Amino acid sequence: MNAVNDGITIALSKGRIFEETLPLLAAAGIVPDENPERSRKLIIGTNRPDVRVVIVRASDTPTYVQYGAADLGIAGKDVLIEHSGTGLYQPLDLGIAKCRMSVAAPVGFDYARAVKSGARLRIATKYLNTAREHFAAKGVHVDLIKLYGSMELAPLVGLADAIVDLVSTGGTLRANNLVEVEEIMPISSRLVVNQAALKMKREILQPVIDAFAGAIG
Ligand code: ATP
Ligand code: MG
C-alpha cells in the first residue's frame, strides 16, 4: 500500500460542484493543488498528503463511492435518485448546487389541459426514474424518451411534448421558448460516503465529515 491508498480519495465533478465544494474542503483544512477547469488531470493532490481528489462525471460520482474507488463524494440529489446502487451512506445535505427538478413545455402548450384530458404525454429526459415516479403519482400516462443532454431541444423539434430537467434561473428555458409548468422537487448536493471506508478509515473521514457539517451551519 502506498501513502495514497492509506489516505482518502474524494470524488468531485468539475464545474459548480467543485467550485462550491472548495469552501467546505477549506473548512476541513483541505486545499486542492489544481483547478480541474484549468488542468486536465483527473487525480489532483491536495495540501494534505493523505487526501486526494478524483475528477469524475457528475452522474458517475455515486458509482465511484459505491465501489470504494473513492471514499467520499459529492453528488446532486438528481443523480442520487437515478443511481440504484447500495452501500452509500448519505450523512449530509450540503445545500450546494441548488436548483429544482421541473417539467417544462413550449410556450403555448397547455400542459394543465393536456394532463386533465388524460392524453398520453411524450416526455424527454435524462431522469427516467424521477420522471416515471412523478407522472405515476399524478396518474398521468407518459411515454418517456431517454436523452443524455440538451433536453430543451426535444419539444422544439417534435420529439416530445415536454421535458423533465433541472432549472435554476430559467435562462436556458427562456432562450428556447420553453416555460416551467410544474416543479417536481428541490435539488441540492449531498455528501456520499462509502460505508466500509467509514469503518476502516474513520480516523481520517470523520473529521472531514464533521468539518463539512460545521461549515454548512
Ligand atoms: P454536463 O452538463 O457536462 O452534461 P452534468 O449535467 O452531469 O454534465 P453539471 O451540469 O455540472 O453536470 O451538473 C452537476 C450537478 O450540479 C447536477 O447533478 C445537479 O445536481 C447540479 N446542477 C445542474 N444544473 C444546475 C443548475 N442549473 N443550477 C444549480 N445546480 C445545478
Ligand atoms: Mg449539465
Q: Tell me: pLDDT of 117 over 80.
A: yes
* Nearest protein Cα to ligand 1, atom 9: 58
User: Residue 49 C-alpha to ligand 1 middle, in angstroms?
Assistant: 30
DSSP characters over 94-142: EEEEEEEEEEEEETT--HHHHHHHT--EEEEES-HHHHHHHHHHHT--E
Q: Give the ligand with the smallest distance to the CA of 20.
A: 1
* Nearest protein Cα to ligand 1, atom 1: 149
User: Residue 184 C-alpha to ligand 1 middle, in angstroms?
Assistant: 16
Per-residue pLDDT, averaged over 98-105, amounts to 98
The CATH superfamily of 99-187 is: Periplasmic binding protein-like II (3.40.190.10)
* Nearest protein Cα to ligand 1, atom 7: 58
Fold match flag (8-98+188-215 vs 99-187): yes
Per-residue pLDDT, averaged over 120-146, amounts to 98
User: Residue 59 C-alpha to ligand 1 middle, in angstroms?
Assistant: 9
- Around ligand 1, the residues with Cβ closer than 6 Å are 13, 15-17, 57-59, 76, 78-79, 97-99, 149, 166, 168, 187, 189
Domain ranges in the chain?
8-98+188-215, 99-187
In this prediction, residue 5 carries a pLDDT of 58
Q: What is the pLDDT of residues 188-201, one digit of tens each?
A: 999 999 999 999 99
Per-residue pLDDT, averaged over 128-132, amounts to 98
The CATH number of the domain covering residues in 8-98+188-215: 3.40.190.10
Q: Cα separations (Å) of 42 from 160, 164, 191, 192?
A: 36, 30, 20, 19
- Give, in degrees to the nearest 5, the angle at Cα 37 between 26 and 20: 35
Cell triple for residue 168? 435554476
Of ligand 1's listed atoms, the one at least distance from the Cα of 169 is 27
Q: How confident is the model at residue 212 (pLDDT cuts 50, 70, 90)?
A: very high
Of ligand 1's listed atoms, the one at least distance from the Cα of 97 is 30
In this prediction, residue 4 carries a pLDDT of 46
Put simply, whether the predicted model's pTM sits higher than 0.90 gets the answer yes
Q: Tell me: pLDDT of 99 over 80.
A: yes
Q: Cα separations (Å) of 196 from 69, 70, 75, 81, 206?
A: 12, 11, 19, 21, 13
DSSP summary character for residue 187: E
Per-residue pLDDT, averaged over 8-32, amounts to 98
Residue pointed to by grid coordinates 427562456: 174
Radius of gyration of the chain (CA): 20
In this prediction, residue 86 carries a pLDDT of 84
